[in-house]
Amino acid sequence: MHYWGMVVLAFLSAIVAAGRMKQKQSGRLPSIARKWKVVSLLVMHVGVLLVIWMTGEIIQINQTANWPTQTGHIIEAVIGGGRAYRPEVRYRYTVNNQVYTGESSLNAPGFGGKRKRYDAASSLIEQFQPGDSVIVFYNPEQPSESTLSTVPTWDVFVKLVCGVFVFVIGLYVTLLPRRTKTTGSI
């Protein structure tokens, strides 16, 4: 499912859940407690969306490891990206006598300090000189789709853990008992 489709779905389900909660709890919880419940449900949905999104990324990257391989050749390896430096490697490969050109950032994450990103990109492109041979993983159903790297980067796992953490925080706030004012008689 497309990312924004999941966001809309989660938002709508949070609204529906909040409406049901309001119907069930009208008169029982103070207004502030109901608002906390709605906020915590939204936070839980954001966490679930992040987990679904990153799990999909990991599955997609892992599937590329099962793609057939072909020997390709580096055309160009440069540092690109402007503000967020990253390696940009262009390569050429042949499948069934058809020549294809691919591009890869070698799954390098695009965040961190500017100097650190530049140094990381420099060290990666040093390994890929024009004319060098590389192993290209290509999609057998659509050979124009290819990659040089079949391993998820660490930032995908960080986002996955953040999604789980956000979900747990939302769940905790949802289940947290709230104190209500009690009026006592004298």
Nearest to residue 111, comparing CAs of 72, 143, 85, 129? 85
Mean pLDDT over each residue of the chain, to the nearest integer: 81
Mean pLDDT (whole number) for 58-81: 92
Position 1 scores a pLDDT of: 46
3-state secondary structure 99-167: EEEEEECCCCCCCCCHHHHHHHHHHHHCCCCCCCEEEEEECCCCCCCEECCCCCCHHHHHHHHHHHHHH
Mean pLDDT (whole number) for 35-48: 85
CATH code of 66-150, in short, is 2.40.50
Q: List pLDDT tens digits, range 72-94.
A: 999 999 998 777 788 899 999 99
Position 182 scores a pLDDT of: 58
pLDDT(145) > 60: yes
* pLDDT greater at residue 29 or residue 120: 120
